[in-house]
Amino acid sequence: MGVGYICCTSSSSSSSTLLTYKPKQLFNLANPTTTSITSQSHFKTSTNFYSISCTSSSFLPLKCGAGIDIRETQDENTSNPMMGIHNINPDLLQQMVYDALVWCSLHGLVVGDKSVQNSGIVPGVGMKHAPFALLPTSFPQTQWQQACDLMCIFNELIDRVSLDGNFLQDTLSRTKRVDVFTSRLLDIHSMMLEIKKKEEIRLGLHRSDYMLDDQTKDLLQIELNTISSSFPGLGCLVSELHSNLLNHYGDHVGLQSGRVPGNTALTGYADALGQAWKEYNDPRAVVMVVVQTEERNMYDQHWLSTVLKERHAVTTIRKTLAEVDSEGELLPDGTLLVGGQKVAVIYFRAGYAPSDYPSESEWEARLLMECSSAVKCPSISYHLAGTKKIQQELAKPNVLERFLENKDEIAKLRKCFAGLWSLDDPHAVRDALERPELYVLKPQREGGGNNIYGNNVRETLLKLQDGSEEQAAYILMQRIFPIASPTFLVRDGICHQDLAISELGIYGAYLRNKQKVIVNSQSGYLVRTKVSSSNEGGVAAGFAVLDSIYLT
């Protein structure tokens, strides 16, 4: 899946020798002529064995005066072979990484540096390049098209599920008893049902995430995000970065820039927000982006605000939940004022995790916004429709038929569903206890770092046995095993060579005003690539890098 290259060049010869994977080989940025070898290993490809060999400990320095720190690491316990290794001159590799870092700096492919104070508060303070893969990840054309075709069906499904208040409440009723965060969301949803609050204008900016299973070659869904689907801005920039690199170096690495699909995530999301603002029909109103107190991914959000301004002349304001509570006012007609400004659309880039609600003030803000006539992205019902428990319920036999009529569309959705089980299923739990490595235990949480893997699955299940109510806070999911490939991962100016796996996210935009569907589109894509030995995959959480795809 990934595209990776390894080579070694002797300082006494201009020829380069293809070599295999070497753990922890360091190419120092400050001293580019020095290479330290800390370990040696062998690995098997599909045809033969390669062994590590390097006749010199020197690499030629970059002619522009800067070297690139390149480290090679590998999980020695992995059973996946290193595939697709090509011969690439180390000077060329250095130049590519250097050019990529320059491109990121000049084009805004940046995030805040957590080691720098105020980097998540003040724009321009402590910026650094976003973590990225140097070359795009290979992905088969057929499964790419399948993922794109599914998005509009999922958009419609989420909208219909959101309208079935009883389904949401009943499905999450047990979870509510053991998960305080989900309980608070359900309380707000219940209040909206009681007052018969209707969302005439409904906006969803979604992302459906997939992996390719190596054994079956099936495209399997990991999750469907309905709140704060991040990286439409930076994800587009990575696609542009890869196209740019391949335009310059494609002949040297055997790749064609035309096989990197164009990415419309940024304009697709901006256009949907602009159209929702237009449907609200008040030219003086603004779009409010709800943000975390410290947001080091602010530039991804600022890209969206900038394009929204350029394409639709719409002004955005940024407010935390606490600021909405202190500055917000609800007029008798449902109009929401924040800081004296009328809000047409509320775009949540916060509010998806318990940590976003440290006090009652934040919950008051969420309720205030939900009671307003502003277009919510997402509304509380859209938010709940994206929970893990709802995902598991929709995978049950005959449940999709409750919301969709088209049998072909239902079949397409079911084809991408991975195995999903409630902890009420004794057969699934028994198998997970016996073979925990084949399952993932998921709580009702968004963002990276929450899932449970390996022996921890067994340990957690044992703790949850004996009819514990806490079982309802989790679902079991089939673990997907994508192929691992050698990939260059660039983070903090350091290029790591490692076995990596990738996850494809397809963005979708959906806008409806009463009975009229105004937007239902597949709106670009996101690839996140991580070291194969890592279970979690969040970029913001520090587990993965941004990537794009190379169609094969």
Ligand-binding annotation for 506, yes or no, is no
pLDDT band for position 45 (50/70/90)? very low
Query: What pLDDT score does 405 carry?
Result: 96
Query: What pLDDT score does 475 carry?
Result: 83
Is-catalytic flag, 230? yes
**Catalytic hit among 128, 207, 389, 512:** 207
Ligand-binding annotation for 480, yes or no, is yes
Is-catalytic flag, 207? yes
**Catalytic hit among 442, 485, 505, 537:** 442
pLDDT band for position 160 (50/70/90)? very high
Q: Using H for helix, E for strand and C for coil, what is the string for 192-239? A: HHHCCCCCCEEEEEEEEEEEECCCCCCEEEEEEECCCCCCHHHHHHHH
CB 523 within 8 A of CB 265: yes
**Catalytic hit among 225, 243, 373, 502:** 225
Query: How large a percentage of the chain has pLDDT more than 70?
Result: 81
User: Tens digit of pLDDT for each residue in 259-296?
Assistant: 999 999 999 999 999 999 999 999 999 999 999 999 99
User: Averaging pLDDT over each range in 82-96, 171-185, 311-325, which range is the top one?
Assistant: 311-325
User: Tens digit of pLDDT for each residue in 455-481?
Assistant: 888 888 888 776 567 777 788 888 888
Ligand-binding annotation for 40, yes or no, is no
- Mean pLDDT, to the nearest integer, of 311-340? 97
Ligand-binding annotation for 351, yes or no, is yes
pLDDT band for position 451 (50/70/90)? confident
Structure tokens at 68: 């690139």
CB 86 within 8 A of CB 253: yes
Superfamily of domain 419-478: Glutathione synthase lid domain (3.30.1490.50)
- Mean pLDDT, to the nearest integer, of 176-196? 94
Is the model's pLDDT at 75 over the cut of 70?
Answer: no
Name the CATH topology of 138-407+499-551.
Rossmann fold (3.40.50)
Question: Lowest-pLDDT range, 43-52, 186-195, 513-522?
Answer: 43-52
Query: What pLDDT score does 467 carry?
Result: 59
**Catalytic hit among 199, 279, 362, 446:** 446
Residues of the chain with CATH 3.40.50.1760: 138-407+499-551
Question: Lowest-pLDDT range, 247-256, 264-273, 421-430?
Answer: 421-430
- Specify the residue for token string 């999301």: 269
Query: What pLDDT score does 263 carry?
Result: 97
Is-catalytic flag, 447? yes
Ligand-binding annotation for 470, yes or no, is no
Question: What is the pTM assigned to this prediction?
Answer: 0.83
Residues of the chain with CATH 3.30.1490.50: 419-478
150-167 residues labelled b (16+ CB within 10 A) or e (exposed)? bbbbbbbbbbebbeeeeb
For residues 399 and 390, give the distance between their C-alpha atoms in angstroms, rounded to a whole number.
11
**Catalytic hit among 138, 162, 208, 230:** 230
For residue 523, report the phi and psi dihedrals to the nearest 5 degrees.
-125, 45
Is the model's pLDDT at 78 over the cut of 50?
Answer: no
Ligand-binding annotation for 207, yes or no, is yes
Ligand-binding annotation for 447, yes or no, is yes
Ligand-binding annotation for 540, yes or no, is yes
User: Tens digit of pLDDT for each residue in 202-241?
Assistant: 999 999 999 999 988 999 999 999 999 999 999 999 999 9
**Catalytic hit among 223, 279, 323, 409:** 223
Is the model's pLDDT at 41 over the cut of 80?
Answer: no
Query: What pLDDT score does 102 carry?
Result: 97
Is-catalytic flag, 446? yes
Is-catalytic flag, 223? yes
